[in-house]
Amino acid sequence: NSLKIMEEMETLLKDNSLESEIKIVKTGCFGLCAEGPIVVVYPEGAMYTRVGVADVKDIVEEHLLKGRIVKRLLAGEKEAEDISKALESVDFFKRQHRIALRNCGRINPENIDEYIAFDGYRALEKVLTGMTPKAVIDTIKRSGLRGRGGGGFPTGIKWEFAAKQVSDQKYVCCNADEGDPGAFMDRSVLEGDPHSLIEAMSIAGYAIGATEGFIYVRAEYPIAVKRLQIAIGQAKEYGILGDNVLGTGHKFDLEIRLGAGAFVCGEETALMTSIEGHRGEPRPRPPFPAVKGLWQKPTILNNVETYANIPVIILEGAEWFASIGTEKSKGTKVFALGGKINNTGLVEVPMGTTLREVVYDIGGGIPKGKKFKAAQTGGPSGGCIPVSHLDTPIDYDSLIALGSMMGSGGLIVMDEDNCMVDIAKFFLEFTVDESCGKCPPCRIGTKRMHEILERITEGKGEDGDIEKLELLAKNIKASALCGLGQTAPNPILSTLKYFRDEYEAHVYQKK
């Protein structure tokens, strides 16, 4: 629909002889999915939402020709004191702090010049012309940046391990194999700002002494893949990738590898095995990838969102970044809001923002005035947070303390009508399907848990089933080989922790 709106806009601009004065820019996602398609008119910054092809005539004739805002389409109209502040006055945006998403919805991702116009590649230039690799790593360490893909490992320390290895070849990898149901944070950056990833990976290459990089992206993201290909081609043309990066002698090149959609390939060792051309199965750690990764060479692997923060940290400084967030979780986090929430979409908030602020102030609350029941963070590896913890500041450690985890940033909201046993079963079905089958606790154990859950939800649960489920979950968590199996029981354990009464109601009252 957005492309049809664009075509209509082009036609009407031509009909009104405005095509030389007004430029149409196709951007990536704004984040406010629930209100799309979106058109923003600059310099005013007036944001029109839920635009249809028929509305384009009004935007052209009223706004562009007569300078009058089309109020019925304007987001934040009521809050804006001044129409030029309409964009910033939209609740959904004004509480956000967009670092990783800074360019999404702002630039044409297929045009390198627009990225450069918004400070693009300045961080790479700064690093290559004035910083030692050690200084780069120190900056990332001091910033406090932790991996945004799930585990939250400190990025600078990971880079330092790899930098210290002596090897004829090292690699920089990007995990763009986002697979959590309902998560699309990385996809948005890839589609909306692919050059930020290229810039960050080149900086990482310089910091650890690697000349080659791989972006592992799922083939189900065709627009992301296409835009990455375009961006890599442009970066080569501009001398940003290749044997003599920006004329400094630094060598760095990138290749894309397509994943076939297996969730386990988001696990770092499976991802690297897949890049090497083998079946994507995890391998035991240690050795860790920073010591022996791709083809047994030192390798760093970060996800898209982690990399998207790097150029800004280099330009603005470690202290600036560390001033945002909480004591142990610095910076911001992107969440994909889904489920029973009014403003579904992507948001980026400082670490430490409470779940209540995300759900109510930014997410606009629960549709139809229903009550909030719980939110699932971390997708199938995470757990649920009940209403009693709505005011918990969201950061890595507080989520783990609640029995959930940050994960890559999926945040699914449940209302009073959701059955939490069904929710646990939904996530478990996903992990049963996605288990690679290499180790018995995950291959067999998740199936047995699923059988018990089926019995319970069909009203055929027996005395002792809940205890058996709990015991199995704890054992699988302790004995599975990789993160997929170790975290698969989390949705069950957290729903048992906070909603045990619902399990008991199914078993003992046959609901």
- Residue 108 or 479 having the CB closest to ligand SF4: 479
Which of 352, 394, 356 shows the shortest CA–CA distance to 374?
356
Which one of 51-59, 271-279, 330-338, 474-482 is the stretch in contact with ligand SF4 (CB under 6 A)? 474-482
Distance from chain centroid for Cα 72: 32
Binding map of ligand SF4 across residues 154-183, x = CB under 6 A, - = no contact: ------------------------------
- What residues numbered 236-295 form the site for ligand SF4, per CB under 6 A? 264, 282
- Residue 417 or 433 having the CB closest to ligand SF4: 433
Contact 260, 221 (CB under 8 A): no
DSSP-assigned beta bridge partners for residue 473: none
- Residue 239 or 440 having the CB closest to ligand SF4: 440
Q: Is 481 an interacting residue with respect to ligand SF4 (CB under 6 A)?
A: yes
Residue-wise burial string across 196-227, b where 16 or more C-beta atoms lie within 10 A, e elsewhere: bbbbbbbbbbbbbbbbbbbbbbbeebeebbeb
Residue 468 Cβ vs ligand SF4, minimum distance, rounded to whole Å: 20
Dihedral-angle region of residue 249 (phi above 0 means left; psi in -120 to 50 means alpha; beta otherwise): left
- What residues numbered 429-468 form the site for ligand SF4, per CB under 6 A? 435-439, 442-443
Residue 428 Cβ vs ligand SF4, minimum distance, rounded to whole Å: 13
Residue 459 Cβ vs ligand SF4, minimum distance, rounded to whole Å: 30
- Residue 60 or 439 having the CB closest to ligand SF4: 439
Pairing of strands 383-386, 372-377: antiparallel
Helix (H, G, I), strand (E, B) or coil at 170: coil
Contact with ligand SF4 (CB under 6 A): which of 341, 482, 496, 507? Answer: 482
Binding map of ligand SF4 across residues 377-416, x = CB under 6 A, - = no contact: ----------------------------------------
Residue 278 Cβ vs ligand SF4, minimum distance, rounded to whole Å: 14
Residue 121 Cβ vs ligand SF4, minimum distance, rounded to whole Å: 38
Which one of 167-175, 191-199, 293-301, 482-490 is the stretch in contact with ligand SF4 (CB under 6 A)? 482-490
- Residue 344 or 435 having the CB closest to ligand SF4: 435
Contact with ligand SF4 (CB under 6 A): which of 192, 266, 461, 485? Answer: 485
- Residue 179 or 461 having the CB closest to ligand SF4: 179
Contact 435, 264 (CB under 8 A): yes
Other C-beta atoms lying within 10 Å of the C-beta of residue 467: 9
- Residue 421 or 482 having the CB closest to ligand SF4: 482
**Dihedral of the alpha carbons of 434, 439, 445, 450, in degrees to the nearest 10:** 10
Which one of 168-176, 242-250, 413-421, 479-487 is the stretch in contact with ligand SF4 (CB under 6 A)? 479-487
- Residue 200 or 436 having the CB closest to ligand SF4: 436
Please report where in the chains the tokens 């043309």 appear, as a residue: 237
Residues in the chain: 511
According to the 3-state scheme, what is the secondary structure of 323-342? CCECCCCECEEEEEEEECCC
Please report where in the chains the tokens 């502040």 appear, as a residue: 85
- Residue 437 or 464 having the CB closest to ligand SF4: 437
DSSP string, 50-62: S--GGGHHHIIII
Q: Where are the alpha helices (DSSP H) in 131-252?
A: 133-143, 155-164, 185-192, 194-208, 222-237
- Residue 198 or 453 having the CB closest to ligand SF4: 453
What tokens appear for 455 in the block? 């019995």
Q: Is 420 an interacting residue with respect to ligand SF4 (CB under 6 A)?
A: no
Helix (H, G, I), strand (E, B) or coil at 375: strand
Pairing of strands 46-48, 39-41: antiparallel
Residue 190 Cβ vs ligand SF4, minimum distance, rounded to whole Å: 25
Contact 73, 48 (CB under 8 A): yes
Residues that bind ligand SF4 (CB under 6 A): 264, 282, 435-439, 442-443, 480-482, 484-485
